Structure 1
Amino acid sequence: MGFPGTWMTESESLVYRVVPKCACSTIGQIMYFSDHGRFFDGDIHDSTEGLHKWAQADSQPLIEANVKAHKSYAFTCVRNPYARILSSFFDKIAGIQRNGKRYRGNLVPQLAQKYGIDVGSPENGFEFDQIASFRRFLLFARDTIRFRKPMEPDIHWSAMAGHISTYIVNGGRYDHIFFTEKFDEGMAHVLKQVKTPVKVDLKKIPRFNESEGHGPKRAHPVSAYFDDLSRHLVWEIYKRDFQLFKYDFDDPDNKFPKAEVDLDEVHAKLGN
């Protein structure tokens, strides 16, 4: 199994477990910058040099040796489950990807056919019933996660606890887990713990939101998308995420966590 989704700076100053839709583009670029004094030209997910990634065969033995010996400061970042699943919908389902195409080719037509989802198009200005379509997408997401039908769950909407647990189960330990909603504070804490080849001034770091501008904007407050049934589905999918990462299930509009993450609890509950 190893350490899927794990990135490490070439200087081995930092090890990061990627959690999709949780500021991973910005974090990856900060790590790249902290070694090279420049940002990767393009989407950091496409880089094949300058940053060790588990997906690159040459990086695997280096990452494995580092993580198992806990040589470097290891961290990850989480996000409110309500906001994260909404972001996945607007980016991956309703939006057009960087290559000008729909995400995963025939996924959107399949969803239109099987779940009645309509996401509009650039031609009609992405005019569609956002709330109705999102709720149908949520049913689809639940089906993929619970029943692995009509397809395997996608990394962008599978639970954060699942991503984060692989690192622990295979012998890693986190030093810090922070919140996307308190990004500057969390990233500053991480950088304070390590000495990087290039000093990072967080105030000068742009936000790398690779999904922005490719699709419709969210037209309503978060709570409008989640009726009683939707919230039931969200709890079914993301119960552990709410509990472990201290987010407020009762108020979808409260994006902030109610407490800090208890690292010992995370390692105990996700390490089985």
Structure 2
Amino acid sequence: MGFPGTWMTESESMIYRVVPKCACSTIGQIMYYSDHGSFYDGDIHDADQGLHKWAREESHNPINANVKTRSAPAFTCVRNPYSRILSSFFDKICGIQRNGNRYRGNLVPMLVQKYGIEVGGEDGKEDFDQIRSFRRFLLFARDTIRWRRPMDPDIHWSAVSGHVSTFIVNGGRYDSIFWTEKFDEGMQGVLDRVQTRHPVDLAAIPRFNESEGHGPKRAHPVEDYFDDLSMHLVYEIYKRDFDLFRYDFENPANKMPIGEIDLDEVHAKLGD
């Protein structure tokens, strides 16, 4: 199976397991900059040169070799399940994508029809009951993850631990896993361990939020979207994410972790 979702700098200085909706655009651009001294002109997900990606056939051998010898530090970045699933809703369901179309073609019309979700009209800019529609989307996300109906789960709302685990199961080992919510501290920790062709000043790096502006603005605090039932659904879907990455299930208003990530525990529990 190899290492799907894995990126590596061309200089082979660092290896990153991409997790959607967890600062992946910014991390990819930092990796690109560290080799080339400039940012990729466009969405880093579209880059087909300047960065090794498992999706590119020619990158398989160098990524494989580095993962096996552990000659470059491997890392990933995780995010609070409450804010991540909410971000997925506004970006992928309510938003118009960068190609000018709705995400995954007929997905949104199906959600409107089968789950009664509203998305803010044709352009996503009309007012609608965000809380009611999000909670209905959450039922849909649970159905895709629990029963793979009416479709397989999408990478943007499938559990972070599932993305993280493929790297471990196929023979990789993380040197660090850090939180989106403490991004500068975590990313600096990675950079401190490597020699880069170009120095990276994190304080000067812009945040490449490629989903920003796709959809309507969130009208309420995160916690307003989650009542008792939706909190139960989120825990059903993301229990391992809360447990392994030390997020606060009891309080959706608290996006910050409440403990330290135990790398040995992560490898033991996700390596089966």
Q: State the TM bucket, normalised to the shorter chain.
A: over 0.9
> Which sits farther off after the overlay, 83-92 or 57-66?
57-66
Q: Secondary structure at the match of 1:72?
A: coil
1:260, CA displacement in angstroms? 1.6
Q: Distance in 1 between matches of 2:174 and 2:253?
A: 29
2:175 corresponds in structure 1 to 175
Q: Residues 271 and 219 (structure 1 numbering): CA distance in 2 closer, same or farther, change over 3 Å?
A: same
Is 1:8 aligned with 2:33? no
1:7-40 CA distance string (max 9 Å, x none): 0000000000000000000000000000000000
1:125, CA displacement in angstroms? 2.6
2:239 corresponds in structure 1 to 239
8 Å CA contact 1:122–1:215 kept in 2: the answer is: no
1:260 corresponds in structure 2 to 260
1:145 corresponds in structure 2 to 145
Q: Distance in 2 between matches of 1:101 and 1:184?
A: 33
Segments of 5+ residues of structure 2 without an aligned counterpart are none
Q: Residues 202 and 123 (structure 1 numbering): CA distance in 2 closer, same or farther, change over 3 Å?
A: closer
Q: Distance in 2 between matches of 1:84 and 1:265?
A: 23
Q: Distance in 2 between matches of 1:105 and 1:122?
A: 13
1:97 corresponds in structure 2 to 97
Letter in 1 for 2:141: A
1:214, CA displacement in angstroms? 1.8
Q: Secondary structure at the match of 1:13?
A: coil
8 Å CA contact 1:14–1:72 kept in 2: the answer is: yes
1:123, CA displacement in angstroms? 5.2
Q: Distance in 2 between matches of 1:131 and 1:232?
A: 16
Q: Distance in 2 between matches of 1:123 and 1:44?
A: 25
1:135 corresponds in structure 2 to 135
Runs of 4+ in 1 over 2 A off after TM superposition: 121-126
1:196-224 CA distance string (max 9 Å, x none): 11110111100000011121011111111
Q: Secondary structure at the match of 2:99?
A: coil
1:124, CA displacement in angstroms? 7.2
8 Å CA contact 1:119–1:133 kept in 2: the answer is: yes
1:64 corresponds in structure 2 to 64
Letter in 2 for 1:202: L
1:61, CA displacement in angstroms? 1.3
Identity fraction in percent: 75
1:127, CA displacement in angstroms? 1.2
Segments of 5+ residues of structure 1 without an aligned counterpart are none
8 Å CA contact 2:6–2:53 kept in 1: the answer is: yes
Q: Distance in 2 between matches of 1:41 and 1:136?
A: 37
1:121, CA displacement in angstroms? 2.6
Letter in 2 for 1:165: S
> Which sits farther off after the overlay, 79-88 or 56-65?
56-65
Letter in 2 for 1:213: G
1:225 corresponds in structure 2 to 225
1:62-87 CA distance string (max 9 Å, x none): 11111111110100000000000000
Letter in 1 for 2:265: E
Q: Secondary structure at the match of 1:95?
A: coil
8 Å CA contact 2:96–2:124 kept in 1: the answer is: no
Q: Distance in 2 between matches of 1:123 and 1:183?
A: 32
2:42 corresponds in structure 1 to 42
Count of residue pairs the alignment pairs up: 272
8 Å CA contact 1:8–1:15 kept in 2: the answer is: yes
2:75 corresponds in structure 1 to 75
What TM-score do the two structures reach when normalised by structure 2?
A: 0.99
Q: Distance in 1 between matches of 2:133 and 2:102?
A: 16
2:121 corresponds in structure 1 to 121
Q: Distance in 2 between matches of 1:66 and 1:121?
A: 47
1:207-251 CA distance string (max 9 Å, x none): 000011121011111111111110111011000000000000000
